[in-house]
Structure 1
Amino acid sequence: MKCVETKVVQSHMIKPKYLNNHQTLFGGYLLAWLDECGGLTARRFGKDEAVTASIDNLNFLEPIMVTHQFTVMTYVSGVGTKAIEVFAKMIGEDLDTREKYLAASTFLTFVFKDQTFTDVTIEPVTEEENYICQGYQARVAQRKMNRQLQAEFVKAIDTKYL
């Protein structure tokens, strides 16, 4: 399957109700739209529901201003046995000047409960897709190491009420 066959594009106009106290897009809205768009990509790929397992290092690169348009674009960038990786980029656009800018980027992992993907691969076509997909195995290894560190961290955290 080609990356483009899994692509989902979702655009939003940034209105005052979406702003934080700095008059830029509140990150919680961005996360909700990101998860929704990534979930649609997972559904398009797996033809079944999946759950969000992780969001890697969401990097906020540029603030998104009021009256700008904001577009989330996602596509599958790697396939495991029961999970897929979805690349997400968030592009802002000043509607007055038509200037576009990369506002944020991340990778999401979605897990499928009742499916396995042993014979399914993802095929990059564009230069961007090739660059993104070639790093998949290294990101999987990093996530595995992060899960081990997280397991140690969880053991040290007290969940009793104060």
Structure 2
Amino acid sequence: MTVEQIPCSVSRVVKSQHIFPNDLNNHYTLFGGKIVADMDMIASLSATKHSRKPCVTASIDYVDFIEPVTEEDFISYESFVVLTGKSSMIIFVKVIAENLITGVKRIAATSFLTFVALEDGKPATVPKVVAQTEEEKSLQAIALERKNNKRTQIEQSKSVAKILSKTLRSSN
């Protein structure tokens, strides 16, 4: 039996929007939380396009906020699957800000998000992803390195949860 292989480009999604005053914080830059929420939303579209199954967010790697986004900008989110496991997919999201007056573009933020495909509420097998461009191949290598390091982070998170659970039980 051969495993289905799908190019990264099949899952590519792009979303652009204008920045409005109600999107800004007290520093007159776009709320970081809005960027993260929009990253999660667009990554979910890429995960679903790749797997053609309902998907849930399993984790969001740290988000690197590289350049501020202001009201003079419009913002574009671009996402695509760069690495797959049995039921998981790592989606890379880049956020590009473009000044509407000058046309200058800059990378505003990046992140890797992990999604799991579901069938009947349980993890489901996903097709393998194939990186074709140099950008995709580079990001796939970075995602693989991060995935290997993530196992340690997950164990640390479980330890923290265990400590916090003890605190919760003792406060009841």
Shift of the alpha carbon at 1:135?
2.5
Whether the aligned pair in 1 keeps the contact of 2:36 and 2:63 (CA below 8 Å) is: no
Counterpart residue number, 2:41: 36
Alpha-carbon distance between aligned partners in 2 of 1:25 and 1:137, rounded to the nearest angstrom: 30
Shift of the alpha carbon at 1:146?
0.6
2:147 maps to a residue whose letter is V
Gaps of 5+ in 2: 1-5
The normalised TM-score by structure 2 is 0.88
Secondary structure, counterpart of 1:57 in structure 2:
coil
Secondary structure, counterpart of 2:61 in structure 1:
strand
Of all paired residues, the percent bearing the same amino acid is 32
Per-residue CA deviation, residues 34-66 of structure 1 (Å, 9 max, x unaligned), is 111000001101111110011101000010011
Paired residue for 2:105, among 100, 120, 126? Answer: 100
Alpha-carbon distance between aligned partners in 1 of 2:74 and 2:22, rounded to the nearest angstrom: 14
Counterpart residue number, 1:155: 162
Alpha-carbon distance between aligned partners in 2 of 1:132 and 1:76, rounded to the nearest angstrom: 10
Alpha-carbon distance between aligned partners in 1 of 2:168 and 2:82, rounded to the nearest angstrom: 36
User: RMSD of the TM alignment (CA)?
Assistant: 1.4
The normalised TM-score by structure 1 is 0.94
1:159 maps to a residue whose letter is L
1:24 maps to a residue whose letter is T
2:130 maps to a residue whose letter is E
Whether the aligned pair in 1 keeps the contact of 2:19 and 2:74 (CA below 8 Å) is: yes
Paired residues in the alignment total 160
1:12 maps to a residue whose letter is Q
Bigger Rg over Cα:
2
Alpha-carbon distance between aligned partners in 1 of 2:18 and 2:142, rounded to the nearest angstrom: 32
Counterpart residue number, 1:116: 125
Paired residue for 1:79, among 67, 84, 106? Answer: 84
Paired residue for 2:152, among 128, 145, 158? Answer: 145
Counterpart residue number, 1:133: 140
Alpha-carbon distance between aligned partners in 2 of 1:159 and 1:130, rounded to the nearest angstrom: 45
